[in-house]
Structure 1
Amino acid sequence: MVSVSSPPLLALRGVSKHFGAVQALTDVDLEIHAGRVVALVGDNGAGKSTLVKVIAGVAPADKGLIEWEGRVVQIKRPHDAQDLGIATVYQDLALCDNLDAVGNLFLGREIHKVGVLDEVEMERRTRDLLHTLSIRIPNVRAPVASLSGGQRQTVAISRSVLAGPKVLLLDEPTASLGVQQTGQVLDLVDQLRDRGIGVLLISHNMGDVKAVADEVAVLRLGRNNGLFDVNTASQEQIISSITGATGEAVTRNPPHAGEAEL
């Protein structure tokens, strides 16, 4: 099992959520710590996206507690999560294709000087942020529609980082990317961890999970079904927990297996 000594930035205690007659989440616990990546995995319908929506304030929990830096908080709407320091990047990215990287990063938080947009300052800050995160984009003034999938994903993540979050939720960030583009995004996740940001990464790809996660939280049928240390758990253990072949995380340390899709 995973053991982390420092208190979590974000903790869910016994969180439940239903939609009509469908019980999507039941008594789910989860912790996200500063400078650590938690991979949230599970089969289709396991409740992963619902859990992200609960944390992001899109679909508030029906029951349970949410703690932020040790105190109980209410997250009833997206602004509540954002005000705490929680940012979310969904699969659709929500980018404006006709705007460039600068315009997308500062959309809704434009910098003004003497009543007009300060394009020079916004471009400078964009370049500084991308450089800090080791992100390479050929032209920050080109419409994002012209960028590759991996570059678009890094723009979406950078926009979230610009707000200075402490926790970042990434919903399947590499789902439709090729090998090289996936590598760009995973490198960025490593950069975020190095900056002390707590990351919750939803992924179906065990290769991605093994590459960047510190621990793996498994959901099955809307319930916790294991928490694993990536360095000591085998791929078979995690997949068995996902499929229901085992009911809980195993503590022994078997050899690693080859990469595969969940």
Structure 2
Amino acid sequence: MSPEPVLSARGLVKTFGRVIGLDGVDLDLYPGEVLAVIGDNGAGKSTLIKCLTGALTPDAGEIRIDGDEVHFRGPLDARAAGIETVYQTLAVAPALDIASNLFLGRERRRPGVLGSVFRMLDKKGMRDEAATALSDLGIGTLQNMAQPVETLSGGQRQAVSVARAAAFGSKVLVLDEPTAALGVRESGQVLRMIEEVRSRGLPTILISHNMPHVFEVADRIHIQRLGRRAGVITPQSHTMAEAVAIMTGAVTLEDRVAAVDDEDRTGHER
């Protein structure tokens, strides 16, 4: 028996006036998997992810978490349901230190009277937990949790954002183009973090234009085209060229399946 999806969407529709952002899209994310979402510009990737994370409300369709239907009125509702998102803009506070960024909006107060009456923050406790969160993801280049984020490289800032999302995401982690602005070495570090998150059992949705990265870490690949789901493939069932062909409309997933069947039939006849 296959496991139930952690996150599922059925028949999602979203329009912007006469522009159709989503046209009846289905999506399933299963426990412990990395699901990549790919598509050309205007395919509906961003609209789909915004609907799943509460930034947009779909006009029709349903979203379920662990089988229970949910209705997000905003990103805070999605976060409360266990969905954490790392947007391409990272949403870090450059002037604050690493620990403060990890606990941004979730600051911990000191125990007892110091926290309840004088409202003092537990800075040491947050720094210790931040160091543990980064260590758990295999990030050894950041040692000083009091270091301002504005002094970090792009890859290190991405690491802070991913660590924050992984630390608080209890159900789903969503990564929007996490390697888009990074070099080769820093991109490799982010991909290793994604694999580490998967090893901890936290399912991840990865939105990316980088096909080598998608095929390196994804378990399944959801392809968007013109507001619809063009198909779901795996790195084992299709090549990068075939994924791009489906994404651009050069072929359909049904064409590819029919071609494979023809090849098998021809081989048997021979």
- TM-score w.r.t. the length of structure 2 is 0.89
- C-alpha deviation, 1:121, in angstroms: 0.7
2:136 corresponds in structure 1 to 132
- Contact 1:13–1:28 (CA<8 Å) still a contact in 2? yes
Please identify, of 156-165 and 187-196, the stretch whose mean Cα deviation from structure 2 is larger: 156-165
Please identify, of 108-117 and 201-210, the stretch whose mean Cα deviation from structure 2 is larger: 108-117
Q: C-alpha separation between the residues in 2 aligned to 1:177 and 1:165? A: 27
Over 3 Å off, 4+ runs: 249-253
CA deviations on 1:154-187 (whole Å, 9 max, x unpaired) are: 1011111221421011110000100000001000
Where 2:175 maps in the other structure, the secondary structure is strand
CA deviations on 1:99-151 (whole Å, 9 max, x unpaired) are: 11101011121111122111111111111111111112143221111111111
Within the candidate set 76, 79, 84, 1:79 is matched to: 76
Determine if the alignment matches structure 1 residue 221 to structure 2 residue 218.
no
Gaps spanning 5+ residues in structure 1: where? 254-262
Q: How does 1:11-22 map to 2 (within 5 A)?
A: 11-22=8-19
2:96 corresponds in structure 1 to 99
Specify the structure having the higher radius of gyration (Cα). 2
Q: C-alpha separation between the residues in 1 aligned to 2:187 and 2:33? A: 19
Structure that is richer in helix per residue: 2
Q: How does 1:1-262 map to 2 (within 5 A)?
A: 5-113=2-110, 114-115=114-115, 116-136=120-140, 137-248=142-253, 250-251=256-257, 252=260
1:259 corresponds in structure 2 to none
Amino acid at match of 2:224: L
- C-alpha deviation, 1:74, in angstroms: 1.3
Amino acid at match of 1:129: A
Percent identity, aligned pairs only, is 44
RMSD: 1.5
Amino acid at match of 1:130: L
Please identify, of 242-251 and 229-238, the stretch whose mean Cα deviation from structure 2 is larger: 242-251
Where 1:218 maps in the other structure, the secondary structure is strand
Amino acid at match of 1:195: R
- Contact 1:9–1:69 (CA<8 Å) still a contact in 2? yes
- TM-score w.r.t. the length of structure 1 is 0.92
Q: C-alpha separation between the residues in 2 aligned to 1:222 and 1:33? A: 22
